[in-house]
């Protein structure tokens, strides 16, 4: 934390740092999902549910390209 002109803690600096950390974490998570999806493309399992092996479906994959499960097995709701 940094100190302001009167020795008060500057909360803005803390908020900016926390927001940047959250965004970095979200970006890392998104990148990890993309890398896992690319691995599934490479091994031929992209677009198949990891629970039942059935096709996930184009609409779901368009809404959530990194989906690993069909709607029946808990795919996240689009949006």
Spell out the domain ranges in the chain. 11-73
CATH class of domain segment(s) 11-73: mainly alpha
pLDDT, one tens digit per residue, over 23-76 is: 888 899 989 999 999 999 999 999 999 999 999 999 999 999 999 999 999 866
- 4 pLDDT tier (thresholds 50, 70, 90): low
Closest CA to 64 of 53, 55, 52, 56: 56
Q: Are 34 and 66 in contact (CB under 8 A)?
A: yes
- 5 pLDDT tier (thresholds 50, 70, 90): low
Q: What pLDDT score was predicted for residue 3?
A: 54
| φ, ψ for residue 3, nearest 5 deg | -100, 140
């Amino acid at each position: 934390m940094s100190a302001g002109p009167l020795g008060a803690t500057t909360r803005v600096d803390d908020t900016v740092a926390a927001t940047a950390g959250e965004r970095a974490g979200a970006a890392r998570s998104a990148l990890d999902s993309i890398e896992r999806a690319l691995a599934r493309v490479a091994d031929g399992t992209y677009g198949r549910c990891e629970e039942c092996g059935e096709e996930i479906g184009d609409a779901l994959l368009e809404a959530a390209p990194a989906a690993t499960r069909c709607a029946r097995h808990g795919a996240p709701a689009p949006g």
